[in-house]
Amino acid sequence: MQKGKFITIDGVEGAGKSTQIKFICDYLEAKGINVVLTREPGGTDLGEKIRELLLSTTTKSMHSDSELLLMFAARNEHIHHKIIPALEKGDWVLSDRFTDASYAYQGGGRGLDIERIEHLEHWVLKNFTPDMTLLLDIPVDLGMSRVESRGEKDRIELEDLDFFERVRQAYIDRSEKYPQRIKLIDSSKSREHTSAQIEKILEIL
């Protein structure tokens, strides 16, 4: 039985996920909630190894279906070995990206059929889904400019602007399809402006 709540944060590169995760953690911990912080792809020993394969620029070619399958293989580890056990203990879990990212990147970005992703989602996750997803939305070029100084790009970050425009649109489409769960947040202004929107949403959770 799930006792804790499962929150995910998603959005294009540089939207401010890592920045806002700190705010969310502090906010929840101040309420006496024990928060387990995790990320995708990754979050477990095997998941982090799969992340390496997915993001390394030394991985020269990867079929889009293989990319999708590896994401879900890592996710299967993640839910069974980390997320569900923590929720059953009563901890809350906060994940930097989750299944919505597969719809955005492999669906929107790579152009894979949504039905095939849904099929995999049902196969791996059954009815397991986040209680709340915070979608940080930002124009792609602004997000990119925020992370520019970070240096070396990973295999997916090397994609062109059109790829990330499709990713952003796929995220927005999902927030319109699942308005109860996915809360779209304008992340283009100050950190405080974004945090204030998040706080309002967390208050009602």
Ligand X SMILES: Nc1ncnc2c1ncn2[C@@H]1O[C@H](COP(=O)(O)OP(=O)(O)OP(=O)(O)O)[C@@H](O)[C@H]1O
Q: Interface with ligand X by CB under 6 A: which residues?
A: 11, 13-19, 146-147, 190-191, 194
Out of Mg ion, ligand X, none, which partner does residue 137 contact, by CB within 5 to 8 A per kind?
none
User: 34, 90 in Cβ contact below 8 A?
Assistant: yes
How many residues touch Mg ion (CB under 5 A)? Answer: 2
Residue with the two structure tokens 């039905």: 115
Shortest spacing between CB 33 and ligand X, in angstroms: 22
* Residues 9-68 close enough to bind Mg ion by CB under 5 A: 17-18
Out of Mg ion, ligand X, none, which partner does residue 130 contact, by CB within 5 to 8 A per kind?
none
Find the distance separating the first CA and the last CA of the chain, reported in whole Å: 19
User: 154, 56 in Cβ contact below 8 A?
Assistant: yes
Burial class of 18 by CB neighbour count within 10 A (0 to 12, 13 to 18, 19+):
exposed
Cβ nearer to ligand X, comparing 11 with 41: 11
Shortest spacing between CB 70 and ligand X, in angstroms: 18
CA-angle at 166, arms to 165 and 168, nearest 5°: 65
> Could you give the string, one character per residue 143-182, with x where binding to Mg ion holds by CB under 5 A and - elsewhere?
----------------------------------------
Cβ nearer to Mg ion, comparing 97 with 120: 97
Detail the DSSP E strand segments found in 11-131: 35-39, 92-96
Cβ nearer to ligand X, comparing 39 with 75: 39
Measured between alpha carbons, how far is 108 from 161 in angstroms, rounded to an integer? 13
Shortest spacing between CB 96 and ligand X, in angstroms: 7
